Amino acid sequence: MYQAGNNAYLLSEGVSVWLITLAVCGAAFFYIVSGNNHLERAVRCGCYDRDRIKGGQWWRLLTVGFTHIQPWHIAMNMLALYNLRSLERFFGHAYFALILFGSVVGGSILEYSISRVRFSVGLSGGLYGLMASYILILLTYRSVSGLRSIAITLVLNLVINFMPGIAWQAHVGGAVTGLVLTEIFLLTH
């Protein structure tokens, strides 16, 4: 990975965005699965609910990223987040958060625009944004070995795209958002 000479790229003291995100997702997951009606609890935690978004609850375009219902889903998403955490060192806390959460919103907007699904959950749009960002950085700095390191995460996530009930629109919207935000970062830094 590219080593920047500017200290703005380095992590400062304190807890990282990826770790805070993991903790919030974990807390929301345990709340959601601790009761009988998981979907109702996910709605309370801010999952994507098309009807509520249409009614003005636009914040759900972001908070969907913190909600998960199935153990395999949160496990896969948190593993992907952990594997992509090095981007926080490259970008710094603020820009890493912008790419992660901007990609969640970008994915949700595309899902809202072209899908009629009422409910969805998960951080996948943000993770696709980070994966696209990582690939763009590796291509920009010509790191073939780095491309091999993300290959497994990318292949697993692409396979999941074709499973029933997966919001592929959020994945595509997140990836495009991540690419755009990363290109802006690379052009301005």
Judge if pTM exceeds 0.75: yes
Sort 66 into a burial class: Cβ within 10 Å, 0-12 / 13-18 / 19+. Answer: buried
> 6 lies in a domain?
no
> 1 lies in a domain?
no
Residue whose pair of structure tokens reads 């899908």 in the numeric block:
115
The pLDDT score that the predictor gives to residue 14 is 60
Inter-residue contact 61 to 9 (CB < 8 Å): no
The pLDDT score that the predictor gives to residue 152 is 72
CATH of the domain at 40: 1.20.1540.10
> 7 lies in a domain?
no
Active site residues: 124, 171
> 3 lies in a domain?
no
Domain extent at residue 103: 12-188
| Mean pLDDT of successive 10-residue stretches along the chain, which has 189 residues | 39 76 98 96 98 98 97 93 92 96 98 95 96 90 72 72 79 96 94
3-class secondary-structure state, position 106: helix
> 58 lies in a domain?
yes
Domain count along the chain: 1
Write the CA distances from 157 to 125, 154, 172, 182, integer angstroms. Answer: 11, 5, 12, 20
The pLDDT score that the predictor gives to residue 182 is 97
> 180 lies in a domain?
yes
The pLDDT score that the predictor gives to residue 2 is 34
The pLDDT score that the predictor gives to residue 176 is 96
Residue 131 in tokens = 């994966």
